[in-house]
DNA sequence: GAGATATTTTGATATTTGTCAAAATATCAA
DNA sequence: TTGATATTTTGACAAATATCAAAATATCTC
């Protein structure tokens, strides 16, 4: 799957967007996140995976816990990509689909 | 489906993003668009519908033809929404999911 | 009105997706 | 090493999605 595609797919689910919003306020481990969402830990882990594949979040282990945080370094690129789609501009080079 | 959700869903498909890119260059009728995409007219019409529901494109009829164009008035809102998700900032009001 | 063209809608189908429960893996602490 | 806790992975399943062919709708021209 293309990089773009995994990004947009990741954003297509409301739970995943909410996870990003929560992580904007600060890192959290999987268990803490799990308390905020009314779905099983397994399902949540699945969402984490998609967010990681899209390079939107990163993880580190601390003992038994896995700490999730935004991969802020990617957010600039993401913003550029979205503006490319949405803003006017001369479309000099088409970034996707060719 | 929430406004946001229909927007993100609309963006989740590569064909639909490509349609938006094409329409950025100028309006087109359904038949012309159909020549650019290797899928049936029925499938394409389905994509048009989702883009319309997301308020990303608008249509007008010209005789037998339906002309599709970007709904530019919405793009500012969309950009704001995306920046809300992706950019730093103090998150004063959470726009989604509460 | 009849026929032709443009587009959408419908019905069917295969694939993808989100979900759960249960099993598996990893780490810690005794 | 045994047991407890944290998280992920697996397997199954229901719902959503993209697709096509065919039927339906709308407009035009004759």
Pair B81, B3: CB distance under 8 Å? no
Partners of B78 on chain A (C-beta within 8 Å) are 86
Out of A4-13, A87-96, B88-97, give the one with best mean pLDDT.
A4-13
Range of the domain at A60: 3-86
Calculate mean pLDDT across residues A56-73.
Answer: 95
Burial of B24 from C-beta contacts in 10 A (0-12 / 13-18 / 19+):
buried
Three-state DSSP string of B5-74: HHHHHHHCCHHHHHHHHHHHCCCEEHHHHHHHCCCCHHHHHHHHHHHHHCCCEEEEEECCEEEEEECHHH
pLDDT of A85 strictly over 90: no
Q: Looking at the domain assignment, is residue A75 inside a domain?
A: yes
For A21, which of B18, B75, B94 is closest by C-beta distance?
Answer: B94
Q: Place A47 in a pLDDT band, splitting at 50, 70 and 90.
A: very high
Pairing assessment for the beta strands A28-29 and A57-62 based on DSSP bridges: unpaired
A93 has pLDDT over 70 = no
- Taking only the tens place, the pLDDT of each residue in A13-27 is 999 999 999 999 999
* A24 contacts B91? CB cut-off 8 A: yes
Backbone angles phi, psi at B51, to 5 degrees: -65, -35
Work out the angle at residue A21's Cα, subtended by the Cα atoms of residues A16 and A25, and round it to the nearest 5 degrees: 140
Identify which has the larger pLDDT, B85 or B1: B1
Give the pair of three-digit tokens for residue B76. Answer: 């500012």
- d(C-alpha A89, C-alpha B72), whole Å: 13
B90 has a pLDDT exceeding 50: no
C1' of D10 to CA of A89 (Å) = 47
pLDDT (tens digit, 9 = 90+) per residue, B40-80? 999 999 999 999 999 999 999 999 999 999 998 777 777 77
Secondary structure of residue A33 in the 3-state scheme: helix
pLDDT score at B2: 85
Q: Total structural domains in chain A? A: 1
User: Would you say residue B98 lies in a domain?
Assistant: no
Residues of A in contact with B25 (CB under 8 A): 91
CB of residue B5 closer than 7 A to nucleic acid strand D? Answer: no
What the block records as the tokens of A42 is 């397994």
Contact list in A for residue B21 (CB cut-off 8 A) is 85, 91, 94, 96-97
CA atoms within 13 A on the CB side of A11: 24
3-state secondary structure of B77: helix
Interface contact flag, B86 A79, Cβ < 8 Å: yes
**Domain contains B48:** yes
Establish if B95 belongs to a structural domain: no
The residues pairing with B69 across neighbouring beta strands, listed in sequence order, are B58
Q: Name the pLDDT band for A81 (thresholds 50, 70, 90).
A: confident
In a domain, B16, yes or no: yes
Answer whether B11 touches A (CB < 8 Å): yes
Q: What is the mean pLDDT of chain A?
A: 86
Mean pLDDT of A27-49: 98
Taking residue B13's Cβ as centre, other Cβ atoms within 10 Å add up to 17
Domain of B48, CATH number, reads 1.10.10.10
Whether A95 has a pLDDT exceeding 60, the answer reads no
Higher pLDDT, A72 or B28: B28
- Does residue A95 belong to any structural domain of this protein? no
Q: What pLDDT, on the 0 to 100 scale, is given for residue B3?
A: 84
Q: What is the DSSP letter of B92?
A: -
Strand C proximal to A64 Cβ, under 7 A: yes
Q: Is residue A68 part of a domain?
A: yes
pLDDT band at B14 (very low <50, low <70, confident <90, very high): very high
B39 within domain boundaries: yes
- Measuring from the CA of residue B10 to each C1' atom, give the nucleotide at the shortest distance: D17
The 3-state DSSP class for residue A67 equals: strand
């Amino acid at each position: 799957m293309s990089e773009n595609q995994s990004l947009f797919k990741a954003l297509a689910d409301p739970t995943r967007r909410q996870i990003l919003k929560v992580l904007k306020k600060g890192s959290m481990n999987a268990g803490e996140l799990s308390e905020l969402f009314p779905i099983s830990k397994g399902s949540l882990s699945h969402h984490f995976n998609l967010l990681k594949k899209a390079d939107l979040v990163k993880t580190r282990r601390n003992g038994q816990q896995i700490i999730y945080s935004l991969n802020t370094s990617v957010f600039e690129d993401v913003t550029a990509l979205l503006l490319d789609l949405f803003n006017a501009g001369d479309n000099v080079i088409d970034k996707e689909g060719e």
